[in-house]
Amino acid sequence: MADLNFKSIEKKWQKIWDEQGLYKTNLTNAEKKLYCLVMFLYPSGDRLHIGHWWNYGPTDTWARFKRMQGFNVFEPMGYDAFGLPAENYAIKVGVHPAISTAQNISNIREQLKALGAMYDWDNEINTSSPEYYKWTQWFFLLLYKNKLAYRKKAPVNWCPSCATVLANEQVVDGSCERCDSEVSQKDLEQWFFKITDYADKLLEGLDRIDWPEKTKSMQRNWIGRSEGALVKFQIDGGDDVIEVFTTRPDTLWGVTYMVLAPEHPLVSELTQPEHKVAVETYIKQTRKLTEIDRTSTEKEKTGVFIGSYCVNPVNGEKVPVWIADYVLGSYGTGAVMAVPGHDTRDFAFATQYQLPIREVISLDGQSRIPLKEAYTEPGTMINSGPFTGEPSKPGISKVIAFLEEKGWGGSKVTYKLRDWLISRQRYWGAPIPMIYCDKCGAVPVPEDQLPVKLPEEVEFSGSGESPLKTNSDWVNTPCPECGGAGRREVDTMDTFVCSSWYYLRFPNPNLDDAPFNKDLIDQWLPVDQYVGGAEHAVMHLLYARFFTKVLNDLGYIKFDEPFSRLMHQGVITNSGVKMSKSKGNVINPDTYIRDYGSDIFRMYLMFMGAYTEGGDWSDDGIHGMNRFVNRFWRLFEMMEENQPIGNETKAIQDVERVRHNSVKMLTHDLDRFQFNTSISRIMELVNAMYLYIQNVPADQQNREILNEIRDTLIQLISPFTPHLGEELWERTGHSGSVFNASWPEWDEDKLKTDTITLAVQVNGKLRSNIEVDLDSEQSIVEAAALADHKIKKYVEGKQILRVIVVKNKLVNLVVQ
């Protein structure tokens, strides 16, 4: 047995796996199926970095472990291949995105193979291939037909650097999620998916899935369901009605003014001539503010009176109408009834502009006028007409009923969630399959004409005009309805549309008459284990759930949640800074893989720390992992050269105990993605083996048990170092792949020892250790503890008040 040559064994086993099709999943058998999916990757021109390995390596280790536990594991990989970087590259260098993407994919596929994962390469998918995006377009039409896709002109988020609009989810603190540029507002006619129709379903489903609580709460937060009332305020001396949404209808009697968002449609109509200049100036100012400035809680509240009044329906009072930028046009009705006595924002505004503050809720029914701050807690309704004296909490529904009865309003649920804007003014995406005809309007492309292929000949300007516009041959097409002159939609779809359904495609990536095979995916989905970055919490993960729910509603699939269990890998930083190409601090794994091999590198990553935590990159310990894996290898070398031939039974028991303990702990830890502690269990077993082999002569060493432990060791390490595992499995005379061998079992009885060392404490402080029989009675333990010579001096001449015995753990003597 020669020194470990990882290069040759990696190549050797990758070739064998490939030839034997070891990782081709038999999808016709869904018994004990396990669909393990890691978020697919964007094929950029860069090499895979440490973050990719951190994402894919451990997940593959987990999948291999599950396979050995007897699961029929399906672990596919694909490419989220549409997107801006390829197009920006085309603008800069002139290489067509289709060419650069194909090149990147073929490079990345090679790198992925070096990782040695169990990917089923026959099931690879590429979202930019016509065979795939045909079905992305089909989904668009499906949503369109079901009134879940619509076109409207609306103020939308515009990223000047990406030269396209963005969905709300892609705007982070007023900046582009992708490039950090400040996002501005533009009025454009765009396509939306009606995800808001699914707000309640998206909320409800969260209770049924095993996801990190944090992610679920982010989604709940994003959906932002809020229950309250809609109240109609008639304009004084006019026909117009201002509708407001409020969660506190119980404070209706405390309204002293009304605030509209500056962009509210009634503003211009209600502005009186003498206020016009001020109002217009204010609106202009608001426009200039970025979303961040406008929604900053730090900012002092501003606003102007527009000259009109409206009437509070419950008491007939005239209240002035203001506009203020703290009221958002996009939430609720874009109008707020201001109750400064019981809302901190209204209070601040009223104080600023000396508007009246009225008290209508009181903790105990006693008035505290003048209020020093808004009282926002529940209490007793006061100065509230017929409701005076009512407790405010139940008062909410009573007032709602009252409003309904009078026709002044009613109950209402509002959401923060907005419809998903999917149009992008870019080239490298799936074309939206719509045609505009002067006679027939917007006409969907008939399904049998899909895919609407991306034309190759376009001009990439990056100007913000859709590049597809520049190919008039492509744009001009007959209207499918009337045959007259039609024009194709020139925007493409957000790439999040492509990734909203890719997990459905993997089992049947080449199906050409449907996006997926219903029978097959009803058996194989939902995904049992999904792994990916937490940054997708309210984007991809919300959109994918939406798609699944739509398909479920329309009867296409049986399940309504795509990912049963979700895990987020942590982030690997470099000196505390998140790695990114733009910062130029990306650590390339290539040199490590060259020096140590993919197995050792993967295992070192997993040993660094908790998977979900991530951590700061340092290669300080990689040398130690190299040492360990070589030590592991040498153990086999030693056993081969100096074959154990005895049947000694005493010392071997210690090794057996470690073995069973290692198997037990590792099985438990691996299940929960606790790779670092799993690895330390293997190390413990290796250490125990070394001790044994070095202390017991080979002619006495228990041959049979050692051979068993040897096999166990290979099985335990294989998910971490798959190439090494296979090599050792073969060298120790096994036929077939170690990944077809079953995961070792442990025997609880083997973990026990006859005697056990107990800690002896006096007044809670450790003073000695005693040896007693396993499961000894309290009286025996107590006597043994008192007999201990070290303990004697702590107890002598003192009164023993209490003796606490924790079975097989410790004894604590409480003395005075």
User: Of the candidates 385, 341, 334, which has an alpha carbon nearest to the alpha carbon of residue 363?
Assistant: 341
Minimum Å gap between C-beta 393 and RNA is 15
Minimum Å gap between C-beta 280 and RNA is 20
Q: Does 245 bind RNA (CB under 7 A)?
A: yes
Other beta carbons less than 10 A from residue 759's beta carbon: 15
Minimum Å gap between C-beta 68 and RNA is 22
Q: Does 51 bind RNA (CB under 7 A)?
A: no
Strands 33-38 and 72-74: parallel
159, 327, 437, 490: which one contacts RNA (CB under 7 A)? Answer: 327
**Alpha carbon distance 84, 619 (integer Å):** 33
Q: Which is nearer to RNA, 522 or 782 (CB)?
A: 782
| Residue 382 φ then ψ, to 5° | -130, 165
Q: Does 812 bind RNA (CB under 7 A)?
A: yes
18, 189, 613, 640: which one contacts RNA (CB under 7 A)? Answer: 613
User: Of the candidates 268, 249, 375, 258, which has an alpha carbon nearest to the alpha carbon of residue 311?
Assistant: 258
**Alpha carbon distance 270, 229 (integer Å):** 24
Minimum Å gap between C-beta 457 and RNA is 40
**Alpha carbon distance 265, 269 (integer Å):** 8
Q: Which is nearer to RNA, 649 or 769 (CB)?
A: 769
**Alpha carbon distance 399, 405 (integer Å):** 10
Q: Does 687 bind RNA (CB under 7 A)?
A: yes
Sign of CA dihedral 132, 133, 137, 143: positive
The one-character DSSP state at 326 is T
Q: Which is nearer to RNA, 184 or 226 (CB)?
A: 226
Minimum Å gap between C-beta 129 and RNA is 33
| Residue 780 φ then ψ, to 5° | -70, -45
Q: Is 213 helix (H, G, I), strand (E, B) or coil?
A: helix
Q: How far does Cα 331 stand from its chain's mean position?
A: 26
Q: Which is nearer to RNA, 59 or 128 (CB)?
A: 59
70, 238, 356, 624: which one contacts RNA (CB under 7 A)? Answer: 624
**Alpha carbon distance 58, 719 (integer Å):** 9
Instruction: Write out the two tokens for 105.
Output: 């994919």
674, 700, 707, 732: which one contacts RNA (CB under 7 A)? Answer: 674
Q: Which is nearer to RNA, 160 or 224 (CB)?
A: 224
Q: Does 804 bind RNA (CB under 7 A)?
A: yes
Q: Does 439 bind RNA (CB under 7 A)?
A: no
Q: For 69-209, where are the alpha helices, taking DSSP H only?
A: 84-93, 97-115, 130-145, 199-205
Q: Does 790 bind RNA (CB under 7 A)?
A: yes
One-letter amino acid identity for 646?
G
Segment near RNA (CB under 7 A); pick from 56-64, 66-74, 183-191, 808-816: 808-816
Minimum Å gap between C-beta 339 and RNA is 7
Residues numbered 516-555 forming contacts with RNA, rule: CB under 7 A: 534-535, 538
Minimum Å gap between C-beta 348 and RNA is 7
One-letter amino acid identity for 544?
A
Q: Does 797 bind RNA (CB under 7 A)?
A: no
Residues numbered 168-227 forming contacts with RNA, rule: CB under 7 A: 172-173, 213-214, 218, 221-222, 224, 226
Instruction: Write out the two tokens for 125.
Output: 């998918």
Tokens 């290979």 map to which residue? 714
Q: Which is nearer to RNA, 90 or 336 (CB)?
A: 336
Minimum Å gap between C-beta 486 and RNA is 39
Q: Please enumerate in sequence order all residues whose Cβ is within 8 A of that of 369, keeping only pairs 6 or more positions apart, or say none.
A: 359
Q: Which is nearer to RNA, 228 or 486 (CB)?
A: 228
Per-residue string for binding with RNA, 412-431, x by CB under 7 A? --x-x---------------
Residues numbered 336-355 forming contacts with RNA, rule: CB under 7 A: 336-337, 343, 345, 348
Q: Does 766 bind RNA (CB under 7 A)?
A: yes
**Alpha carbon distance 400, 421 (integer Å):** 34
108, 143, 261, 497: which one contacts RNA (CB under 7 A)? Answer: 261
Residues numbered 219-238 forming contacts with RNA, rule: CB under 7 A: 221-222, 224, 226, 228
Other beta carbons less than 10 A from residue 797's beta carbon: 6
Burial group, residue 379, by CB count within 10 angstroms (0-12, 13-18, 19+): buried
Q: Are 411 and 403 in contact (CB under 8 A)?
A: no
The one-character DSSP state at 146 is T
185, 477, 574, 630: which one contacts RNA (CB under 7 A)? Answer: 630
Whether cis (ω within 30° of 0) applies to the bond prior to 265 is no
Q: Does 247 bind RNA (CB under 7 A)?
A: yes
Q: Does 761 bind RNA (CB under 7 A)?
A: yes
**Alpha carbon distance 222, 219 (integer Å):** 5
Minimum Å gap between C-beta 125 and RNA is 29
161, 680, 707, 732: which one contacts RNA (CB under 7 A)? Answer: 680
Segment near RNA (CB under 7 A); pick from 430-438, 455-463, 516-524, 625-633: 625-633
| Residue 260 φ then ψ, to 5° | -105, 150
Q: Does 577 bind RNA (CB under 7 A)?
A: no
Burial group, residue 665, by CB count within 10 angstroms (0-12, 13-18, 19+): middle
186, 690, 703, 782: which one contacts RNA (CB under 7 A)? Answer: 690
Q: Which is nearer to RNA, 442 or 759 (CB)?
A: 759
Residues numbered 582-611 forming contacts with RNA, rule: CB under 7 A: 607-610
Q: Does 628 bind RNA (CB under 7 A)?
A: yes
Minimum Å gap between C-beta 753 and RNA is 11
Number of residues counted as binding RNA (CB under 7 A): 86
Residues numbered 267-326 forming contacts with RNA, rule: CB under 7 A: 294-297, 299, 301, 325-326
Q: Is 680 helix (H, G, I), strand (E, B) or coil?
A: helix
Q: Does 679 bind RNA (CB under 7 A)?
A: yes
Residues numbered 694-753 forming contacts with RNA, rule: CB under 7 A: 694
Q: Does 759 bind RNA (CB under 7 A)?
A: yes
Residues forming a β-bridge with 159: 164
User: Of the candidates 25, 178, 18, which has an alpha carbon nearest to the alpha carbon of residue 112?
Assistant: 18
Q: Does 328 bind RNA (CB under 7 A)?
A: yes
Q: What is the DSSP string of 31-43?
A: TTEEEEEE--B--
